[in-house]
Amino acid sequence: MAVAVGEKHREVGKSGTVVPGPVLLLGAPGVGKGTQAQAIMAAWGIPQISTGDILRSNVSGGTELGKKARALMDRGELVPDDLVNQMVADRLQLPDTAKGYILDGFPRTLGQAEWLDSYLAERSGGLPVVAVSIKVGYTQLLRRITGRRNCPVCKSIYNIYLQPPKVDTLCDLDGTPLARRSDDTEEVFEERMRTYESLTAPVIEHYRACGRFQEVDGELPVDAVTAAVMAAVLRLRGAAS
Ligand code: AP5
């Protein structure tokens, strides 16, 4: 079954009263950032900017950035801040970010967070970021990572244990054979978690201290998490309580 893409939540965007602005989705590997970003993108018509996806497309395209990133990603380590910050700066120049965007997997070091804060402060008139952190326990994260499969064509996200496709390991939407990410092994997941605890957990504390921050329970079914994330964004924007 492909991830729900927020059908139930579309009307919020149609009301015309919500301008989501920059939304950060934070959380450990496998909490559901990409799944939720796809749902919100469909509901509110704002782009998902996933630094992991941009890096993977550079790796598969054999670019200079991809060559630098590949080994680091396969080991579960982070790509240097200056490379990732530049990549995000380039993406934020595109006009589709005017009403808002979801940053998925960025920032994940304090250096990236400080860079983003000053980058946005220099862009006059923009809304400040709101940050939503998704929480899921370790055992469930491991199941999500080792069971994850992606459609290489339409990017739909599945899980052979939790969100299986209807037929074998083929995408429900276009029939493409699903793929497994090279960093979705138990061994690399453990390293990604160590990296997360040492470098990314402080980013969550940074945004908690800034306010405009909310934590949501990511162990619920996909649609329930989507509803909680969207309610959190609306509340943090003062559009709902
Ligand atoms: P990245 O691609 O960002 O990986 P990640 O942060 O580890 O997160 P994931 O993509 O693994 O998980 P997710 O939270 O998006 O979960 P998903 O929705 O897929 O980064 C990869 C690498 O790139 C990094 O290790 C690093 O090397 C580099 N990189 C990226 N950004 C960087 C940066 N800013 N700085 C430096 N380096 C960077 O869901 C997971 C599974 O769970 C799926 O199978 C899904 O179907 C299932 N699932 C989701 N929600 C639910 C639910 N509610 N119930 C049941 N199943 C669910």
In this predicted model, what pLDDT tens digit does every residue of 206-241 receive, in sequence order?
999 999 999 999 999 999 999 999 999 999 998 654
Q: Which residue has the tokens 């995000």?
A: 88
Q: How far apart are CA 154 and CA 215, in angstroms?
A: 29
Beta strand 130-135 with 213-217: parallel, antiparallel or unpaired? parallel
CA of 57 to the centre of ligand 1 (A): 15
Beta strand 130-135 with 21-26: parallel, antiparallel or unpaired? parallel
Catalytic residue among 56, 144, 149, 192: 192
Whether 192 is a known active-site residue: answer yes
In this predicted model, what pLDDT tens digit does every residue of 19-44 receive, in sequence order?
899 999 999 999 999 999 999 999 99
Atom of ligand 1 nearest to the CA of 195: 25
In this predicted model, what pLDDT tens digit does every residue of 171-211 receive, in sequence order?
999 999 999 999 999 999 999 999 999 999 999 999 999 99
8 Å CB contact between 5 and 165: no
Q: Which helix (H) or strand (E) holds 113?
A: helix 110-122
Say which residue, 223 or 4, is predicted with more confidence: 223
Q: Which residues are within 8 A (CB) of 148 and not within 5 positions of it... i.e. 6 or more apart?
A: 30, 157, 158, 159, 180, 181, 184
SS3 track for 23-48: EEEECCCCCCHHHHHHHHHHHHCCCE
Q: Which fold has domain 2-137+200-240?
A: Rossmann fold (3.40.50)
Q: In the predicted model, what is the mean pLDDT of residues 78-104?
A: 96
- Choose which residue among 5, 36, 78 to substitute to test ligand 1 binding: the one with the highest number of ligand atoms within 8 A of its C-beta: 78
Joined together, the tokens standing for residue 241 give 């309580």
Domain ranges within the chain, ordered by starting residue: 2-137+200-240
Q: How far apart are CA 221 and CA 69, in angstroms?
A: 33
In this predicted model, what pLDDT tens digit does every residue of 101-128 receive, in sequence order?
999 999 999 999 999 999 998 886 788 9
